Amino acid sequence: MSNFANWISPELLRTLGWTLLHFLWQGAGLAALFAVAAAVCRSATARYALAVGALVLMMASPVITFTWSQRQTNPAVRTGAEGAWTWAGTSTRNATALSGSRAPVAESRTEQPIAMVWLVEAWFLGVLVLSLRTSGGLF
């Protein structure tokens, strides 16, 4: 399944990986807020509305994180008045001087850590298996 990384662009793979990692803390935070709010509410209708609202926010937060991350990796967004900027906020010349190599920073940014590739692949495999399970239950 390591060929999965060849199907999509490295930038999209990186954005998906970071979106998945960010959703871990976002989902936990939304669940904690729901738990506190549900403990305070006494009516079942209010708890139901809170639960639906929390689920909608959990569905929207990865989409918002993905689009925000995609805008951050867009070259038009990164380019400032003084030239190309890396995603860390340092200029290309400074990043090359700090790293001690003459390799362009843009090329080193597109190489993915193997853990990020495996994270996205495992997530995709989980979505595929659970989708097959759900569709099998419908039949």
Output the pTM of the full model: 0.63
Query: What pLDDT, in 10s, does the model give residues 57-92?
Result: 999 999 999 999 888 866 655 555 444 444 444 444
pLDDT score at 117? 83
CB 10 within 8 A of CB 110: yes
Highest mean predicted confidence (pLDDT) among 30-39, 106-115, 127-136? 30-39
More confident residue, 118 or 55: 55
